[in-house]
Amino acid sequence: MRICIRGGGNAVHVMASDMGAREDLWVGVYAPFQDEAERMRAGLAASGGKFHVTSAVK
């Protein structure tokens, strides 16, 4: 199953990590601001995370 979590706040971080731990889910995060998305991507790269982060606002 594929899910997308919207936002860049604390709850999104918790939900994404919790859902991302499940092997049966593909988790995407939509962070509305580019700087939030970049920070999330950097954190994922550093920790070996497996979900995907996108943004629309540059």
- Is residue 26 situated within a structural domain? no
**pLDDT-based confidence at residue 58 (cuts at 50, 70, 90):** low
Question: Is the predicted pLDDT of residue 52 greater than 80, yes or no?
Answer: no
Closest CA to 4 of 35, 30, 22: 30
Question: Is the predicted pLDDT of residue 55 greater than 70, yes or no?
Answer: yes
DSSP 1: -
Question: Is the predicted pLDDT of residue 56 greater than 80, yes or no?
Answer: no
- Is residue 54 situated within a structural domain? yes
- Is residue 52 situated within a structural domain? yes
pLDDT tens across 2-51, in order? 999 998 888 988 898 888 888 898 888 898 888 888 888 888 888 877 77
- Domain of 58, in residue numbers: 32-58
Overall pTM > 0.85 = no
- In the chain, the number of structural domains is 1
